[in-house]
A and B are shown apart, each in its own frame.
Chain A
Amino acid sequence: MKRTIPLFISAVTGFVLIGTAFIPKFVDWGNDAMAWFNILAAFAFILGGGNLLKMQLQKISSQQPGWGYAAVTLIAFFITLVAGLFKIGVYPNVNAAQLSWSGDFLQEGSFFWWLYEYIYNPLSATMFALLAFYISSAAFRAFRAKNSEATVLLVIAVIVLLGRTYAGEWLTGGLSDENILGFQEVKYSDFSLPHLSQIIMDVFTTPGMRAITIGIALGVASTSLKVLLGVDRSYLGSDQEA
């Protein structure tokens, strides 16, 4: 029963949504189902918060290595939660001035805004910026022409790296638009780095991605069908019937 009801809900909702694509009468049903999904998605935040609490508390109680970080995570979580939920420092909305909590939680000057602007924003940007340092180190230590495939990859990487900056234009921008002797369709400028970089994207990357995308779509369609028909129950946590 514990599994039958979720399976039934998934199947009905899934088939209704498929129906909306083919039968115009079902469109409103589909919209209602999507509205319910949005409500469920909002509840997922609560589950996510609960899961974060459980995992971090487990780390702290069992004194796992690095449990101090878990404590910092929890403190930061609660400070942010309180700042956002209680709208500390937020002025009421002008449309509902009588309601003290009617203002936007991200209002400029509020505590939550301050946390976002001066802690989350710089930290998040810094984490991403660190990639540049790791990429440069990896380029030096790992990007080697060990075999023919790696050599092709390396040459293409260099063409794209140069072609996507002014260096490509500066190095090869002077190639003329004249036809190469004996070739009607090929010009010298076709070998400019920005043009070669574009060819790599248009002729090699796009068809490759199209093939991968079609493959993924077929996989998603078959997996979705298995979920709707109750064949694949892994999303319920286990394959075993309760």
Chain B
Amino acid sequence: MLNFLQNLDRRWIFLLMLFAVAIPLISGITFPEKPSKEVMTVFHAVDDLPDGSNVVLALDYDPASAGELQPMASAFTRHCAIKKHNILFMTLWPQGVPMIQNSVDILENEYPETYKGKYGVKYVNLGFRTGNEGVIKLVVEDLKKSYSTDIKSNSLDNIPLTKNLKNIQQVDLLANVSAGYPGSKEWVLYGSAPFDIPTVVGCTGVQAPTMLPYIPKQLIGMIAAIKGAAEYEQAIINAYPELEKNPKAKQGLIRMGPQLVAHLLLISLIFLGNVIYFWERKQGLYR
């Protein structure tokens, strides 16, 4: 048996991982999540704002990370929509424009009474601008120097939501969902930290350790990886039980099923690999 495992073809491992991810995903199994203190901090940052506050939702990711980040972007959008906040969407990633469209679709289709046909009044899509940190530095000091028009080529001076907005220091909250550079770190360094803009972020698991040092001073809170997204979704469902009926509002919770089985498989593989290693060492294959 050990001899067989010693020369195990990696394709068997790939097949196991395929089943580990596919079966829970297809079955749609979910597990209970208890929102952590960190996630509740983010929840309260959005929830404690008076209804109709101005929020910037900066979505800096692409389809590669959408699997991990789309649930948290959608959760931020739904939470802001429930609170009837005014939302300014923007992205520093060229591939981020369709990601914004996903959130716009949520507003228009799930909250039509507040947002349908209210483009420019309740939400606006500023789209993509190139320049990375340069764009952040400009929008925090002079929004219209970087964005003279929105994605539909309307002048920001003609849009009710932006005509009196000099810069995003005037917004009540900045929420960023990011997969890397430019993203959360740059928003903190050039936006929230120098100008005390209340900021929350959602990021990938890989990015999370780099963002931890900024909490709680420069950053109010952080949602990390799909686990954080699932906890945030649960926190919103706990506060607004009507979301329980919306399966689209549980994408993070659904994705925790594959995560659980995949993690168990990884631990089993590590254990098995080590059993083989110690057996080989006993056989004198290693010194």
Contacts and interface: CB of A to CB of B under 8 A. Distances in A.
A141 B9 CA distance: 11
Contacts of A37: 131, 134
Contacts of B208: 201
Contact of A128 (B21, B64, B270): B64
Interface stretch (B12-20, B41-49, B52-60, B243-251): B12-20
Given A34-B138, A38-B129, A106-B97, A144 B277 contact: yes
Interface residues of B, number: 61
Interface stretch (A1-9, A132-140, A174-182, A223-231): A132-140
A96 interface: yes
Contacts of A139: 266, 269-270, 273
Interface string B133-156: 011011001100110000111100
B130 A124 contact: no
Contacts of A132: 17, 21, 262
Contacts of B263: 161-162, 164-165, 167
B13 A137 contact: yes
A31 B142 CA distance: 7
A162 to B, nearest CB: 7
A81 interface: no
Contact of A201 (B130, B154, B212): B212
A133 B19 CA distance: 11
A62 interface: no
A120 B262 CA distance: 26
Interface stretch (B31-39, B109-117, B170-178): B31-39
A169 B266 CA distance: 18
Contact of A140 (B62, B138, B227, B272): B272
8 contacts: A35-B138, A38-B129, A38-B138, A104-B151, A124-B95, A143-B274, A164-B227, A209-B209
Interface of B: 8, 10, 13-14, 16-18, 21, 31-34, 36, 62-67, 95, 97-98, 129-132, 134-135, 137-138, 141-142, 145-146, 151-154, 194, 208-210, 212-213, 225, 227, 256, 259-260, 262-267, 269-270, 272-274, 277
